[in-house]
Amino acid sequence: MRANIKDVSQAAGVSIKTVSRVINNERYVRPATRARVEEAMAALGFHPSQAARALAGGRSFQIALVCSNPGPYYLHGLIAGLRGRCAAEGVRLIVHAYEVEADELGADVLTFFRQMGFDGAILTPPIVDNAPVLDELDRAGTPYVRISPGVQRDRSASVAIDNEGAARAMTRRLIALGHRRIGFVVGHRSYAVSNQRLAGYLDALREAGIPLDLNLVEQGWFDFGSGRAAAEALLGLPEPPTAIFASSDDMAAGVLSVAHQRRIRVPEQLSIAGFDDTDLAKLVWPPLTTMRQPIRAMAERAAELLFSGTVEQVVLPSELIERASTAPRWG
């Protein structure tokens, strides 16, 4: 049978409470006593039951990462960014990836939160803007950090980049390269960042006095397939764009693949721009131009805010990466 705290207390000749003090690194334990207890714990191969600690102490030692079914790089960046800090804090990471289409109302996520009192939560779009979910978290007193919130930004701690500004910068860049007909692939409708990026695009056009041609704006869903579909539509126009700015790298890769099939040389005949959290630019050849959202850094910062209890709206810089042939990001 697994050793429990009582076994340890007997082996060490102290009370249960004292063992508990050692487990939790509390003060008021004489070094000698502490040593004796630790010895006993090691000898018995004792590891405190998290379930019991959670029940008695009201802490779960778990934080939740709630995200939609995101792309590989986004998910990886999140987990990579959270991993270290969680380990350092002795906390487990519960990954809850939900189906965006199937859970518009966040009901699933609500249930998820109500079952285990998490010590904290990290939310990503689009659930990050779901009021009932935020209400529940507030009600339960669970600290949480939102990544890329779209609404009520000052409601909680959050980490984001300036999506609108970044999209504006990218569009300006394309305009500076001489493009006047710039296609745009909008992101998933349920994500606030999609609108923010679209707004940046529109703003840059306005600023440059380029009239908006609605034929150049296609709806996408952040994935490779919808990028391809959008590219088919855009490149099939009587007067196709000379540049296409996709709201995510996955979609940009889709655009690239269509261009390739159509024997369109990139970037000579068609500039393709992506926007994302990925390292795709380093993998794709010839390269896309990418507006880089530092998702891993955002996750790291989110963990920092969560564990320090700081309620603050952090805005991290994004980064415009010209095509990798001129600005490689090797390593």
Partner DNA sequence: TTGAAAGCGTTACCAA
Partner DNA sequence: TTGGTAACGCTTTCAA
In whole angstroms, give the CA distance from residue 280 to residue 302.
24
Enter the tokens of residue 118. Answer: 């998490």
Question: Is residue 257 a contact residue for a copy of itself (CB under 8 A)?
Answer: yes
Shorter beta-carbon distance to DNA: residue 29 or 202:
29
Question: Residue 16 or 315: which CB sits closer to a copy of itself?
Answer: 16
Q: How far apart are CA 331 and CA 151, in angstroms?
A: 36
Q: Does 142 bind DNA (CB under 7 A)?
A: no
322 binds a copy of itself (CB under 8 A): no
Alpha carbons 183 and 244: distance in angstroms, whole number: 4
Q: How many CB atoms lie within 10 A of CB 48?
A: 16
DSSP conformation letters of 205-231: HHHHTPPP-GGGEEE--SSHHHHHHHH
Position 52 contacts a copy of itself (CB under 8 A): yes
Query: By CB under 7 A, what part of segment 58-97 binds DNA?
Result: 58
With respect to DNA, which residue has the nearer C-beta, 46 or 245? 46
Cα angle 299, 302, 305; round to 5: 155
Compare residues 35 and 80 and give the one whose CB is closer to DNA.
35
Contacting DNA within 7-26 (CB under 7 A)? 13-18, 20-21, 23-24
Window 76 to 95, contacts with a copy of itself (CB under 8 A) = 76-77, 79-80, 83, 92-95
Size of the site for a copy of itself (CB under 8 A): 54
State which of residues 60, 163, 171, 289 lies at the interface with a copy of itself (CB under 8 A). Answer: 60
Nearer residue to a copy of itself within complex by CB, 129 or 136: 136
Number of shown-chain residues binding DNA (CB under 7 A) = 30
Closest to DNA by CB, 21 or 179: 21
According to DSSP H, which parts of the chain are helical? 5-12, 16-23, 31-44, 50-57, 72-89, 107-115, 131-140, 163-176, 192-208, 224-235, 249-261, 280-283, 295-308
Of 65-73, 149-157, 184-192, 207-215, the window that binds a copy of itself (rule: CB under 8 A) is 65-73
Is the bond preceding residue 149 a cis peptide, omega within 30 degrees?
Answer: no
Cis peptide before 267 (omega within 30 of 0): yes
310 near a copy of itself, rule: CB under 8 A: no
Q: What is the per-residue binding string for DNA in 25-44, x denoting contact by CB under 7 A?
A: --xxxx-xx-----------
**Residue (of 125, 205, 284) closest to 273 by Cα position:** 284
User: Which residues bind to DNA, rule: CB under 7 A?
Assistant: 2, 4-6, 13-18, 20-21, 23-24, 27-30, 32-33, 46-49, 52-53, 55-58
